[in-house]
Amino acid sequence: MSELLFQGFQQDVKIFLLPPILCALFRAVFILWYWPHGSYAGKGTAIYHCFRYGFWWGMDWNAYVFFLPFLLLTVPGCFFPAYFAVGDFIRCIWVLVYSLALYMAFIGKMIFYAHYHDTYNYLVWQGKNAEKHNLADVFFNEHRGWLLLASFIPFGYLVWNSAWGVLSLPSIALPAFESETALYAFNTGIVLVAVAFYYYFRYGGTFLHDDKPEWDTVPSIVKRDIFLARATVDDFVALEIVWKHPPDSLLSHGDEDDAPLIDGVVPPEQSGMKWRTLKTPPEAFRRVAKGPHIRPPRHIFLIVGESYAQSPLDEIYTSLHIMDGGRRMRAEKHSAQLSNFLPAGKLSRPSIVSLMAGIFDAKLELNENERFWQGTVVTALPAQLARLGYRSLYWYGGNATYGNFNQFAPAVGFEKVMAATDFCPANSPRTWVGIYDHIFLEKAAELIKDMGDDVPTFHFIYTTSNHGPYKMPVEDFGYDADAVMPDAPERLRRDRTAQKILGTYWYSDRAIERFVTSMREAFPDSLVIVTGDHAAMPIPMNMGLLPRQDVTLREAFCTSFVMLHPEIDQSLLAGNVIGGHMNIAPSIIEMIAPEGFVYYSLFSSLTEPVACAVSPYHWLTRDAVGPAEDGRWQGLNVTGEPVETHQTQDGKSLFAKEIDGFNAITGWMVRHPELLRAAASLKG
């Protein structure tokens, strides 16, 4: 038994060698076949990391080539020698089937790239609705399909012989043991090593699931070359990503489907056939500024704090003191705030994309769409501010290649993308998302001060630290639960998990407040806007803080919002009690633009009455809030008591029409990328 276990383990390791080699060969063929740069000069390091990272990422699938034979052949074969005797034959069959599947995925990727200049993406989902005869015609006539199918025979022959070849390599004999105890310990060790071997490779050279390779962590030197970044992803991994992210139904719509939906949201004067005469639907949302509310500042700061939500600012949570910096900003005389404020997304990137572009991301990941790296829409905020004389800079607390914002941000009009991983000290502590907020913001403040105020500048600043898994050593930065929240329940103060989250909120809030103070001291006329990328409820509801133990829809959905400027107060907001991310861009323009300035925005400025705010995920009125996917809604009352949940009679969202209409605008632009315009052409 021991001899069989040891020999079987070695055979499983040998057969495991083939798939990573095949994946590397397929990657090399893809790069050689489609290389877009002509010369390879200067690309050596990027190509090396492409293969290195691709090898480890591919192990997400390839590790099974080792583990399944070990689990299904080696272990049972130890008890049934006759079964063990045919193990190598079964291993060859297994690796042959796996390799043929790899080869099929590779051929599909080569054809897919020929048509779409991309590796597998959401368009794969559209294949189910495509004309099958047309697909067959393209495959057999345009891509010599019969020859490709015939190639499976020599490929399979080579794999089969290679499999037998590696299995024939010499194995190490079982060591001699003087006692049965030592032998049993050795057997146990083999099993444990096999399990560890599997997990180590399955997780990409680590035992930590959080450190598994993924698209965001592709090395920056590779991601700067989008072709090599795509080549890094093994085909099974790419297909898995597509499978896990089915497209929104918008991608299956046609213009005839979306036109009636857009009719429901365009201004009345553009309804019917009128907006169809324009180049793009966003152009129907033409607005004319009424005249400035403040003297145009030299610096405009839009600070988007990760998970910088409204709930910790509510009066019922005052005893926690985790966002006292935000409270102080709201208490200032020259501030304007809203405590019911709807983000553009439930996650960071949809919100950031929507704020930048002025149209909703609508679950379509515009930042990952290469067409949106080349052009944008008339509603893009940086491009419109350029017509008012402002340059725009995007300051990101992490690596800008994450989410391809190094590509997307310039396309909407940002002059520079300032990534913390580039300008902060190399040894700066960081979370998996980015550099610690206080380091990022302090260094950004230094650079902004060095720039001076000769050129009016819009700064879009996005922090990252207030994000799970909340491993920051907040105590090192002065956080002490007993000192910060002495009036909170002791159970809450003693709960380590809760305190890690609450402490991170406290830390991030302090970092943002200090940055705002620094910038206002350096540039007193600055317009500062602070919001969060999305809502997040950091406060545990089961520790005696309130009578209720459930999170309200308002707490789950609403992020924070405050504006600061020497010439404003709460009256600027025209009596509004609600707003949303998509009201920010028109508010900036209306506050500073001269009378008669033409701009484009799906939503009105906060300097005008706002009746409702919607996003692809939720909606908000002066009285209620609800999700987009169903008919639930709750009132906006801030209370520690249970809040009643209401339901529409038909089970549909109260604002389904509006949400579908604004989503349709994004879908229209994604289907018609030829209508996108270079940001430079919008600045004129």
Amino acid 176: pLDDT: 84
Give the three-class secondary structure for 580.
strand
What are the beta bridge partners of residue 288? 598
The pair of structure tokens assigned to 208 is 């930590």
Q: Which range has the worst mean pLDDT, 65-79, 131-145, 198-212?
A: 131-145
Q: What is the pLDDT of residues 402-415, one digit of tens each?
A: 889 999 999 999 99
- Percentage, residues of the chain above pLDDT 90: 77
- The residue that leads in pLDDT, 650 or 317, is 317
Task: Tell me how far the alpha carbon of residue 665 is from its chain's centroid.
Answer: 21
Task: Compute the average pLDDT of residues 547-552.
Answer: 88
Are residues 243 and 272 located together in one domain of the fold?
A: no
Q: What is the pLDDT of residues 433-463, one digit of tens each?
A: 899 999 999 999 999 999 988 899 999 999 9
The pair of structure tokens assigned to 212 is 């598994």
CA gap 309, 323 in Å, rounded:
9
Residue located via tokens 């989503």: 663
Q: How many CB atoms lie within 10 A of CB 171?
A: 15
Task: Compute the average pLDDT of residues 580-603.
Answer: 98
Is residue 308's pLDDT more than 90?
Answer: yes
pLDDT class of 386 with cuts at 50, 70, 90: very high
Q: Is residue 526 part of a domain?
A: yes
State the average pLDDT for the chain: 93
* 265: amino acid identity, one letter: V
User: In Å, how far are 56, 58, 201, 244, 400 from 213, measured between CA atoms?
Assistant: 7, 9, 11, 16, 17
Is residue 58's pLDDT more than 80?
Answer: yes
Is residue 537's pLDDT more than 80?
Answer: yes
- Domain range enclosing 438: 268-683
Are residues 388 and 451 located together in one domain of the fold?
A: yes
CA gap 410, 562 in Å, rounded:
27
pLDDT class of 128 with cuts at 50, 70, 90: low
Q: Which range has the worst mean pLDDT, 73-77, 125-129, 537-541?
A: 125-129
Are residues 396 and 512 located together in one domain of the fold?
A: yes
- The residue that leads in pLDDT, 271 or 158, is 158
- What 3 state SS string does 265-329 have? CCCHHHCCCCHHHCCCHHHHCEEECCCCCCCCCCEEEEEEECCCECHHHCHHHHHHCCCHHHHHH
Half-sphere exposure (Cβ direction) of 600: Cα atoms closer than 13 Å: 23
Are residues 338 and 381 located together in one domain of the fold?
A: yes
Half-sphere exposure (Cβ direction) of 231: Cα atoms closer than 13 Å: 26
Amino acid 684: pLDDT: 67
Amino acid 460: pLDDT: 98
Whether 529 contacts 562, CB under 8 Å: yes
- The interaxial angle of helices 18-34 and 152-167, nearest 10 deg, is 140
Is residue 127's pLDDT more than 80?
Answer: no
The residue among 500, 477, 498 whose CA lies nearest residue 489 is 498
Task: Compute the average pLDDT of residues 121-131.
Answer: 69
Q: Is residue 385 part of a domain?
A: yes
Q: What is the pLDDT of residues 36-55, one digit of tens each?
A: 888 899 999 999 999 999 99
Are residues 295 and 221 located together in one domain of the fold?
A: no
* 126: amino acid identity, one letter: Q
Range list of β-strands (E), 493-576: 527-532, 561-564
Is residue 252's pLDDT more than 80?
Answer: no
Are residues 430 and 563 located together in one domain of the fold?
A: yes
Give the three-class secondary structure for 623.
coil
Terminal Cα-to-Cα distance of the chain (whole angstroms): 79
pLDDT class of 580 with cuts at 50, 70, 90: very high
CA gap 613, 615 in Å, rounded:
7
- The residue that leads in pLDDT, 623 or 363, is 623
Domain-terminating residue out of 190, 218, 247: 247
Are residues 336 and 207 located together in one domain of the fold?
A: no
Amino acid 247: pLDDT: 67
Are residues 308 and 191 located together in one domain of the fold?
A: no
What are the beta bridge partners of residue 398? 434
Are residues 190 and 320 located together in one domain of the fold?
A: no
Q: How many CB atoms lie within 10 A of CB 158?
A: 12
List phi, psi (to 5°) of 359.
-120, 155
Are residues 229 and 100 located together in one domain of the fold?
A: yes
CA gap 439, 429 in Å, rounded:
8
- The pairing of strands 391-396 and 416-419 is parallel
Q: Is residue 434 part of a domain?
A: yes
Q: Is residue 262 part of a domain?
A: no
Helix (H) or strand (E) holding 549: none
Are residues 432 and 330 located together in one domain of the fold?
A: yes
83: which residues sit within 8 A by CB, 6+ positions away? 73, 76, 77
Task: Tell me how far the alpha carbon of residue 22 is from its chain's centroid.
Answer: 31
Look up the CATH number of the domain holding residue 332.
3.40.720.10
CA gap 233, 573 in Å, rounded:
48
Q: Is residue 502 part of a domain?
A: yes
- The pairing of strands 341-342 and 624-627 is unpaired
Are residues 553 and 425 located together in one domain of the fold?
A: yes
Q: What is the pLDDT of residues 455-503, one digit of tens each?
A: 999 999 999 999 888 889 999 999 999 999 999 999 999 999 899 999 9
Q: What is the pLDDT of residues 182-193, one digit of tens each?
A: 888 888 999 999
The angle formed by the CA atoms of residues 363, 665 and 630, to the nearest 5 degrees, is: 55
Q: Is residue 597 part of a domain?
A: yes
Whether 339 contacts 555, CB under 8 Å: no
The residue among 619, 645, 618, 654 whose CA lies nearest residue 346 is 618
Q: Is residue 260 part of a domain?
A: no
pLDDT class of 253 with cuts at 50, 70, 90: confident
- The interaxial angle of helices 44-69 and 18-34, nearest 10 deg, is 150
Task: Tell me how far the alpha carbon of residue 286 is from its chain's centroid.
Answer: 30
- The interaxial angle of helices 87-116 and 18-34, nearest 10 deg, is 20
CA gap 401, 379 in Å, rounded:
24
* 415: amino acid identity, one letter: E
217-256 burial code (b ≥16 CB/10 A, e <16): bbbbbbbebbbbbbbbbbbbbbbebbeeeebbebbebeee
pLDDT class of 131 with cuts at 50, 70, 90: low
- What is the count of structural domains for the chain? 2
pLDDT class of 236 with cuts at 50, 70, 90: very high
Is residue 389's pLDDT more than 90?
Answer: yes
* 580: amino acid identity, one letter: G
Answer yes or no: pTM beyond 0.75: yes
CA gap 221, 401 in Å, rounded:
9
CA-based R_g, the chain, Å: 29
Amino acid 38: pLDDT: 80
Whether 440 contacts 482, CB under 8 Å: no
Amino acid 116: pLDDT: 74
Q: What is the pLDDT of residues 89-124, one digit of tens each?
A: 999 999 999 999 999 999 999 998 887 778 888 678
What are the beta bridge partners of residue 305? 532
Amino acid 301: pLDDT: 98
- Percentage, residues of the chain above pLDDT 70: 98
Range list of β-strands (E), 463-595: 527-532, 561-564, 579-580
Q: Is residue 356 part of a domain?
A: yes
Q: What is the pLDDT of residues 328-364, one digit of tens each?
A: 999 999 999 999 999 999 989 999 999 999 999 998 8
**Cα maximum dimension of the chain:** 94
Peptide bond into 469 cis (omega under 30): yes
- The pairing of strands 624-627 and 618-621 is antiparallel
- What 3 state SS string does 219-277 have? CHHHHCCHHHHHHHCCHHHHHHHHHHCCCCHHHHCCHHHHHHHHHCCCCHHHCCCCHHH
Whether 624 contacts 613, CB under 8 Å: no
The residue among 500, 483, 366 whose CA lies nearest residue 431 is 500
Residue located via tokens 């930042």: 367
